[in-house]
Structure 1
Amino acid sequence: MSIATVFEIVLAAVVLTLGVWTIVVPETFSATVGFVAYGLLVALIWVRLDAADVALTEAAIGGGLGGVLLLSAAARLRDADMMADEAPGKLLRAGAAALSVLTAAALAGAVLWLPDSAPTLAPAAVANAWATGLSNPVTNVLMAFRAMDTMLEKIVLLLAIVGVWSLAPDSAWGGRPGPRHQADPRGVLAFLARLLPPVGIVIGIYILWTGSDHPGGAFQGGAILASMWLLAVMAGLADTPLVSDRSVRFILVAGPGLFLLVGLAGLLFGAAFLSYPPALAKPLILGIEVAMTLTIAATLGLLLAGVPERGMEP
């Protein structure tokens, strides 16, 4: 048995143990920390499966932005837990456990009963990969052969931010999301907020640009940019923008809007909706990726900032 195999077995055991612990631990904060650690370990699994693009996304979202969101939710739930007098009954717990077991059994059955030769479009995608001019097969598939799914994912993000903003009270509509953060100007957080964003912005842009030929892309780059912006906000070096700001709204719709325009152009002047002319495929895809990076960064950051809570004050 090789060292790599031993490492994979230990990693799988740790991930399963951490997943079970996250479910059964009674404290909300402990469960949140366990879930963040679980996401980081899953990123290692994706690396072992040679899916570096997925690993980058899992680390950025599961261990980064998702961790911040869950920790914020845990802080609010802690106050609610202190006010709650009744714990879930045994019947409710038994029902939840039974539902979890049935879901796990259904997923296991679906995997075990898959046909030996599952239908696939991989040969057709590989045969036509040259048409986009992209060397990264993941970006190639997402932006060409599954372009509709990729565009709809960005529309889902846009609908999510609309849903969050709709929860704002009338007095705060159009104002700034979240509270105004303050930090010790000489503290570690303020120091990191000054040190990391310049480096993070360069890395985010590089991850976007290299995504056409190497692991990376718009989602990973946008998540890094959002993390750097949120770090500055939490340190009190910047504030969240007004949701009524037209430039903010333009950035939010830039990615899916440009994607839709390119798709309609393919329908009117090309072979089909979201079809790219071979001579312009790579420039068009890179243009869409740049717009999507800005949209993803703004959307993820504003989603984590939360509901507009303050009025239109500067």
Structure 2
Amino acid sequence: MSIATVFEIVLAAVVLGLAIWTIAVPETYSATVGFVAYGLLVALIWVRLDAVDVALTEAAIGGGLGGVLLLGAAARLRNADPTAVETPCKLVRLCAAALSSLIAAALVAAILLLPDPAPTLAPAAVAKAWATGLANPVTNVLMAFRAMDTMLEKVVLLLAIVGVWSLASDPAWGGRPGPRHEADPHGVLAFLARLLPSVGIVVGIYIFWTGADHPGGAFQGGAILASMWLLVVMAGLTDTPPVSSRRLRFILVAGPGLFLVVGIGGLCLGPAFLAYPLALAKPLILGIEVAMILTIAATLGLLLAGAPERSEQR
């Protein structure tokens, strides 16, 4: 048995144990910390499977922004009235455990019963990869072979923002999301908020730009930019923009809007919806990704900020 195999067995055991502990631990904060650690370990598993693009997304969303969102929710639950927090009964817990076990068993059966060799469209995708001019096969598939799904994912993010903003009270509508954060101007958080964003912005742009030929892309880069923005907001160095800002709303619709325009152009001037002209395929895809990284960064940051809580005048 090689060292790599032993490492993978230990990693799988740790991930499984951490997942069980995250579900079983009664404290919300401890469960959140366990979930963040679980997301980072899952990202390491994706690296072992040579899926670096998925690993970057998992680390940024599952271990990063998702962790910040859950930590904020845990903090609000800690300050809430204990009698207002619902605790599921034993029957509900048993049903959830049974359903989870059935789903896990079905996934195991589906994997074990796959035909050998498994059906795949990889050869067809590789054969047509030259048409986009992109060397990264993941970006190639996302922006060409399943471009409709990629566009609708950004529409879902936009609808999520609309759903979160709709939770605002009438006096706060059009105002600023989340509370106004204040931190020690000479503290560690303020120091990091002044130091890290310059580095994080460069890394985020690099992750986005290199996604055309190497692991990376707009979603991973946008998640990094959103993290840097949230860090500055949490340090009190800036405030969230009012949701009534036209510039903010333009950024939110830029990604799916440009995607839709290019798709309609392919329908009117080409053979099908989202059919890129061969000579303009790579420039069009890069243009869409530029708009999408702005939309993703703004959307993820605003989702974590929450619903508008303060009027614009404050």
Same fold (TM over 0.5): yes
Per the TM alignment, residue 84 of structure 1 is displaced from its structure 2 partner at its CA by 4.3
Matched letter for residue 3 of structure 2:
I
1:91 and 2:96 aligned:
no
Per the TM alignment, residue 185 of structure 1 is displaced from its structure 2 partner at its CA by 0.4
How many angstroms apart in 2 are the aligned matches of 1:193 and 1:75? 21
Matched letter for residue 266 of structure 1:
G
The residue that corresponds to 1:37 in the other structure is 37
How many angstroms apart in 1 are the aligned matches of 2:234 and 2:258? 31
Q: How does 1:288-307 map to 2 (within 5 A)?
A: 288-307=288-307
Which TM-score applies when normalising by structure 2?
A: 0.97
Matched letter for residue 64 of structure 2:
G
Per the TM alignment, residue 271 of structure 1 is displaced from its structure 2 partner at its CA by 1.5
Q: How does 1:44-83 map to 2 (within 5 A)?
A: 44-80=44-80, 82-83=82-83
Greater CA drift, 101-110 or 247-256 = 101-110
Per the TM alignment, residue 112 of structure 1 is displaced from its structure 2 partner at its CA by 2.4
Per the TM alignment, residue 122 of structure 1 is displaced from its structure 2 partner at its CA by 1.3
The residue that corresponds to 2:128 in the other structure is 128
Greater CA drift, 211-220 or 87-96 = 87-96
State the Cα deviation string for residues 238-272 of structure 1 (Å, max 9, x = none): 10000000000000000000000001000111121
Which TM-score applies when normalising by structure 1?
A: 0.97
The residue that corresponds to 1:20 in the other structure is 20
Identity of aligned residues (%): 83
Length, aligned pairs only: 314
How many angstroms apart in 1 are the aligned matches of 2:86 and 2:189? 38
The residue that corresponds to 2:244 in the other structure is 244
Matched letter for residue 12 of structure 1:
A
Cα 1:127–1:63 change in 2 (3 A) is same
How many angstroms apart in 2 are the aligned matches of 1:285 and 1:127? 19
Q: How does 1:49-198 map to 2 (within 5 A)?
A: 49-80=49-80, 82-84=82-84, 87-198=87-198
SS in 1 for 2:95: helix
Matched letter for residue 217 of structure 1:
G
State the Cα deviation string for residues 157-195 of structure 1 (Å, max 9, x = none): 000000000111111100000000000001000000000
Q: Which runs of no fewer than 5 residues in structure 1 stay unpaired?
A: none
Per the TM alignment, residue 302 of structure 1 is displaced from its structure 2 partner at its CA by 0.1
Matched letter for residue 298 of structure 1:
A
How many angstroms apart in 2 are the aligned matches of 1:103 and 1:3? 31
State the Cα deviation string for residues 185-233 of structure 1 (Å, max 9, x = none): 0100000000000110111111111110111100000000000000000
Greater CA drift, 301-310 or 97-106 = 97-106
How many angstroms apart in 2 are the aligned matches of 1:29 and 1:117? 45
How many angstroms apart in 2 are the aligned matches of 1:50 and 1:94? 36
SS in 1 for 2:278: coil
